Chains A and B, each alone.
Chain A
Amino acid sequence: AQSVTQLDSHVSVSEGTPVLLRCNYSSSYSPSLFWYVQHPNKGLQLLLKYTSAATLVKGINGFEAEFKKSETSFHLTKPSAHMSDAAEYFCVVSDAEGGADGLTFGKGTHLIIQP
Chain B
Amino acid sequence: AAGVIQSPRHLIKEKRETATLKCYPIPRHDTVYWYQQGPGQDPQFLISFYEKMQSDKGSIPDRFSAQQFSDYHSELNMSSLELGDSALYFCASSRGTGEGYEQYFGPGTRLTVT
* A residues whose Cβ falls under 8 Å from a Cβ of B: 30, 32, 34, 36, 42-46, 49, 51-52, 90, 94, 96-108
Q: Is the CB of B50 within 8 A of A32?
A: no
Size bin of chain B's contact surface: 20 to 34
The complex places the Cα of A57 from the Cα of B58 at a distance, in Å, of: 29
CB contacts (< 8 Å) of B50 on chain A: these are 99-100
In the complex, the chain B residue whose C-beta lies closest to that of A44 is B105
The complex places the Cα of A103 from the Cα of B99 at a distance, in Å, of: 12
CB contacts (< 8 Å) of B49 on chain A: these are 100
CB contacts (< 8 Å) of A52 on chain B: these are 99
* B residues whose Cβ falls under 8 Å from a Cβ of A: 31, 33, 35, 42-50, 55-56, 58, 90, 92, 94, 97-108
Given A96-B98, A96-B101, 16 other A-B contacts at CB below 8 A? Answer: A36-B105, A43-B107, A43-B108, A46-B104, A46-B105, A51-B99, A51-B100, A98-B97, A98-B98, A99-B97, A100-B49, A100-B55, A101-B48, A101-B56, A101-B97, A104-B45
CB contacts (< 8 Å) of A49 on chain B: these are 100, 102
